[in-house]
Every structure is written in structure tokens, then in C-alpha cells.
Amino acid sequence: MEARAMPQEILLPVKPGFIFFTLIAALLLNLLPWSGVWLWIKPDFVALVVLYWCIDQPRRIGFSAAWLLGLFMDVADGTLFGQHALAYTILAYAGIVLNRRVRMFAMTPQVLHVIPLLLANDLIVLAIRALAGADFPGFQYFLGSFVAGALWPVVAVLLKLPQRPRPDPDHVG
Amino acid sequence: MEHSPPPFFKTGPTPLARLLIFSALSAAVLVADARFDYLSVLRQVAAVIVYPIQRVAAAPASIMRRAAEFFVTHSSLRADNARLAGENLANAASLQQLMALQAENRRLRELLAARERLEVKPVAAEVLYAARDPFSRKIVVDKGSQHDIRAGQPVIDQAGVIGQVTRVYPWLSEITLITDKGQFVPVQNLRNGLRAVLAGTGGDGALDLRFIPLNADYQNGDRLVTSGIDGVYPPGLPVARVSNVERSAAQLFARVTCTPLAGVASYAHVLIVQGSRELPARPADEDRPARSKRAKKG
């Protein structure tokens, strides 16, 4: 696959309040009462948004936010304390280390980078659950990460919106 | 990182160092929670922070439910009313009998110097959501330690036992369903009084009776009620119906599959049964008090 560089555009600096807002919104989406089939195809929004900000703004957002959000997810799901924290920490590390590389690619190769990272995130949670004595829940457990990968372009566009400079009404051209 | 920043840019520890720090922290938290149960305070604090988000997230579903209740048709309301009046009449007769029987029971128990049976005092709670965790069967309801809910209290609906409160937060509590893998309910066959242990399988709508001898008298359709010998579930609550009995000479035990009577996977409201029974003290050689605590964890 020919990897074309994303056209670079000059963006406004991101507001910390906006990052905070998107993380809370992701937590909210994760806490919606999903059930049945929806539960299987539900992407992990927190993982997706944390990964996005780690790739896009590695100086602003990083391990502490990922770790705290992981703790909140563990409390809300009533699972063993620390499993999501560990998974999100490793995800944040991957995002921060790979940020320059991933940002160079166009959207499709970016998605191909993101899906394995989210799958690794799932695998870590699965490994901790297996150590604690749970059964393998079936391969549909990994479906959510592919859905999240498909959502990546949408997330990337949405979260960049407030950074786009306003079109200048006096500009002629 | 091969490209380390020049020393005049202060960036703090490298990502690898931070990864190790936070992973170690997570591992410490995991072990402390799994093995020693030290972190209940931290969990409570985090729960209070997440609580508003949980309520907001659960709001759409609960608003939809209320809106659907508002738009019921007149005819369905009348049909419901007629059905409930009929049920009420039927129940009234048995309730009057129940009062007489309770009085009689109390007298007989006094004569026998036996302990009082528990008088259950249920608290209604609304289900906020089922835990979004494919590994376990749990639900979260909107009553917590502020409403005198305690961990270990049994939870029922109008048809039978749903599960047990396993974790309590200030305004929420977490209920582990009887279908969860690792939940055990001591039961009794209503037809012949045989005692057994009913175990969840992790799948919806399937329970297993464990360690049933091949010649034990179980038939399809037998109703199982709680036997009350564990001190968690009060005796006599309906739990499940035997749906399949498989006896094969190659196996040591019969395979008895049951379906829960209560709507374990579908409900909007549940009853949390309060009031704990005072059991006689356990024998002195009680060796593993931590065992019951472990079993309650997801």
C-alpha cells in the first residue's frame, strides 16, 4: 500500500478543556446501558479517545490521564481494580512512542496502526481476567476493537474540528 | 527512544520510565485488590467521582422507560388493572392463611425452642444497567449504603431469586446474578427435600446442580427453593426449575441443568431483601474465613 503523507495544515492549539471534555464524553459513552449484541460490537470509546490524544498531543495527555480513566472504568464495571488502568497505560505508551510515525500516514494506514493497538489493549484485559480465573468469552470479544478502528477516521475529524482556523470573511480568493 | 531531547528541554522522565512506573502502580493495585482487599476506600472515592457520569449515562434508558409507561393505552391499562385485581383477590386469600400460619408457626417454634425464621423486609431498587463486562453477570442498581444496603443481601423479583449484593457504594450497589460463573446458591428440591448446590454457568438462563449422585431423585420440572443453610439467602425463596437431567454411567455425577425462575436477564426493578438472620456461631475449628469473601468476588 502506498502510504501518502497527510496534507499538513496549520491548526490552532488545542484547548485543555476540550481534551478533558472529550475524555469525559468517552467515559459517558462507555457507561451507556449497552446490552446484548450491542455489548459485543461496542467499541471501547475511552481507549479510542485516549489513543487519539496520545498520538495527537503526546505532550498534553499521557499516562496519568490514561491510568485514572482506567481506574474509573474498573469501578464502573465492578471488575478487578487496575486491569483497565494497566491496559490503558500500555496503550498510552504505544501511542506516545508511535505518535510521529502514525501522524505521517494517511487515514487508511492510520486505521491499520490503530486496530492492533486496540486489540493489544483487549488482550491485556483478557490476560488479567484469565489470571483471575475467568473463561475465554469467545472471539466476538475482539469485535469491538475492529468497530473502534472503523470509527477512528470519524474521531480524528471530530476531535480536530475546534482546532480548525475559522475562515476569514475578508479573504478574497 | 533514539532521539532523546536536548537537555535544555525539560520533559520529565522518558516514556519508557513512565510506562514502568504506571505499570508497576497498576500491578500493585491489582494485587492489592485481588489478594488483600485493601482498596475499598480508594474504590469508594473513585465510585463517588464516577457516580454522576453513571447516572447521566443511565438517564436516557430510564427516561425512555418512563415515557413508554406514560403512553400506555387505556385498554391495556384496563386489562392490567383487571388482571391485578384478580391476582390481588387470589393473593388475599393466601395472605390471610399466611398470617394464621405465621402465628401458628411462631407458637410451634416457641414450643420447639427453635430460632425464628427471618421476616423479610424488601427494598425496591431500579436497575441502572447491566455491567458491560462480557466475563461476568452483574447488574448495578440505584440503592446503596445510604439506603442501608449491605453486601451479601439477597435480591429477588416477583418470581424468585435473582442474585446477591456483592459490592456497595454510597448510592449504587452491584448485584451478582445467580447465573454468574462462581455464584452458588444452596437449594432444596421442593418435591422431596433433597439439598444441593446450584452453580451459575456464566451463560444466560442456565444453571447447574453440582455433585448430584446418579441415583438421586431429580426429574424435569422439579422446583428448587433456597434451603437457607448458607446464611445468605433466606430459606424458601424459589430459585430455579430443573430443565434437563442427564445420567450416564460413564460419569460420576448426574448432569442436572436448571433454568432460573426469576427474570434474571430482563428486569427494570428488583427487590433487595434486608435483615440478616442470626445464625448460630460456627464451630471453633472454622479454618478458612476468607473463603466466602473470595467466592463473592467477580
Task: Report DSSP state, residue B251.
Answer: S
A85 lies in a domain?
A: yes
Whether A88 shows a pLDDT value over 80: the answer reads yes
Average pLDDT (A41-64) is 90
d(CA B2, CA B170): 49
Whether B52 shows a pLDDT value over 60: the answer reads yes
B213 lies in a domain?
A: yes
- Averaged confidence pLDDT in chain B: 81
Provide the 10 A C-beta neighbour count for residue A96.
Answer: 25
Average pLDDT (B274-278) is 65
Whether B1 shows a pLDDT value over 90: the answer reads no
Q: Which of B69, B100, B133 is the last residue of a domain?
A: B69
Task: Report DSSP state, residue A140.
Answer: G
With beta carbons under 8 A apart, name residues in chain A contacting B40. none
A131 lies in a domain?
A: yes
b/e per residue B242-281 (b: at least 16 CB within 10 A): beebeeeeeeeebebbbebbbebbebeebbbbbeebeeee
Contact A33, B129 (CB under 8 A): yes
Q: Is A141 exposed, middle or buried (0-12, 13-18, 19+ CB in 10 A)?
A: middle
Dihedral sign for Cα atoms in the order A104, A106, A109, A115: positive
d(CA B209, CA B257): 6
Residue B83: CB partners within 8 Å, gap ≥ 6?
A: none
Q: Is A38 part of the contact surface with chain B (CB cutoff 8 Å)?
A: no
Give yes or no: residues B174 and B269 share one domain: yes
Of A76, A77, A90, which has the smallest distance from its Cβ to B23's Cβ?
A90
A4 lies in a domain?
A: no
With beta carbons under 8 A apart, name residues in chain A contacting B60. 32
Residues in chain A: 173
Provide the 10 A C-beta neighbour count for residue B143.
Answer: 19
With beta carbons under 8 A apart, name residues in chain B contacting A79. 133, 135-136, 298
Whether B102 shows a pLDDT value over 90: the answer reads no
The confidence band for B117, taking pLDDT boundaries of 50, 70 and 90, is low
With beta carbons under 8 A apart, name residues in chain B contacting A77. 131-133
Contact B206, B181 (CB under 8 A): no
Q: What is the tally of structural domains in chain A?
A: 1
**Shortest CA gap A152–chain B (Å):** 22
Q: Is A36 part of the contact surface with chain B (CB cutoff 8 Å)?
A: no
Chain pair A-B, CB pairs under 8 angstroms: 129
The confidence band for B294, taking pLDDT boundaries of 50, 70 and 90, is very low
Supply the CATH number for residue A93's domain: 1.10.1760
CA distances from B114 to A64, A137, B280 (A): 58, 47, 11
Strands (E), B59-217: 121-130, 138-141, 154-156, 161-168, 173-177, 184-189, 195-200, 207-213
- Residue of B288 and B14 predicted with greater confidence: B14
A168 lies in a domain?
A: no
B153 lies in a domain?
A: yes
Of A24, A72, A90, which has the smallest distance from its Cβ to B19's Cβ?
A90
Whether B297 shows a pLDDT value over 70: the answer reads no
Contact B165, B209 (CB under 8 A): no
Of A77, A97, A132, which has the smallest distance from its Cβ to B131's Cβ?
A77
A1 lies in a domain?
A: no
- Asked casually if ipTM beats, i.e. exceeds, 0.90, the reply is no
Average pLDDT (B207-228) is 88
**Shortest CA gap B29–chain A (Å):** 6
Structural domain boundaries, residue A154: 16-163
A7 lies in a domain?
A: no
With beta carbons under 8 A apart, name residues in chain A contacting B46. 71-72, 74-75
Nearest CA among B203, B196, B266 for reference residue B226: B196
d(CA A32, CA A35): 9
Residue A47: CB partners within 8 Å, gap ≥ 6?
A: A87, A88, A91, A118, A121, A148
Give yes or no: residues B138 and B241 share one domain: yes
Q: Is B76 exposed, middle or buried (0-12, 13-18, 19+ CB in 10 A)?
A: exposed
Lowest mean pLDDT among A154-168, B5-19, B228-242: B5-19
Looking at residue B116, what is its pLDDT?
Answer: 56
Give yes or no: residues B27 and B159 share one domain: no
A134 lies in a domain?
A: yes
CA distances from A69 to A29, A74, A88 (A): 13, 9, 8
Of B21, B39, B56, which has the smallest distance from its Cβ to A81's Cβ?
B39
Q: Which of B2, B26, B179 to probe by mutation at the A interface, max A CB count within 10 Å?
A: B26
**Shortest CA gap A127–chain B (Å):** 12
Cβ pair B50:A96 closer than 8 A: no
H or E element at residue B225: strand B223-226
d(CA A161, CA A103): 17
Lowest mean pLDDT among A32-36, A159-163, B59-63: A32-36
Looking at residue B295, what is its pLDDT?
Answer: 46
Lowest mean pLDDT among B60-69, B165-174, B233-242, B272-281: B272-281
Contact B30, A83 (CB under 8 A): yes
The confidence band for B282, taking pLDDT boundaries of 50, 70 and 90, is low
d(CA A16, CA A47): 18
d(CA B150, CA B43): 16
Average pLDDT (A98-124) is 91
Contact B26, A86 (CB under 8 A): yes
- Residue of A149 and B34 predicted with greater confidence: A149
Cβ pair A67:B15 closer than 8 A: no
With beta carbons under 8 A apart, name residues in chain A contacting B131. 77-78
d(CA B252, CA B213): 7
Give yes or no: residues B168 and B246 share one domain: yes
Give yes or no: residues B231 and B140 share one domain: yes
B235 lies in a domain?
A: yes
Looking at residue B150, what is its pLDDT?
Answer: 87
Structural domain boundaries, residue B257: 125-276
Task: Quick: pLDDT tens for A121-134.
Answer: 999 999 988 888 77
Task: Report DSSP state, residue A141.
Answer: G
With beta carbons under 8 A apart, name residues in chain A contacting B133. 77-79
A2 lies in a domain?
A: no
Global model pTM greater than 0.90: no
d(CA B251, CA B255): 9
Supply the CATH number for residue B209's domain: 2.40.10.350
Residues 54-73 of B with CB under 8 A from A: 54, 56-58, 60-61
Backbone Cα Rg of chain A: 17
Distance of CA B117 to the CA centre of its chain: 21
From B204, which residue of chain A is nearest by alpha-carbon distance?
A36
- List the helix and strand counts (H, then E) for chain B: 4, 12
Residues 89-148 of A with CB under 8 A from B: 89-90, 93, 96-97, 128-129, 132-135, 137, 141
**Shortest CA gap B157–chain A (Å):** 20
Q: Is A150 part of the contact surface with chain B (CB cutoff 8 Å)?
A: no
B230 lies in a domain?
A: yes
Whether A89 shows a pLDDT value over 50: the answer reads yes
Cβ pair A28:B56 closer than 8 A: yes
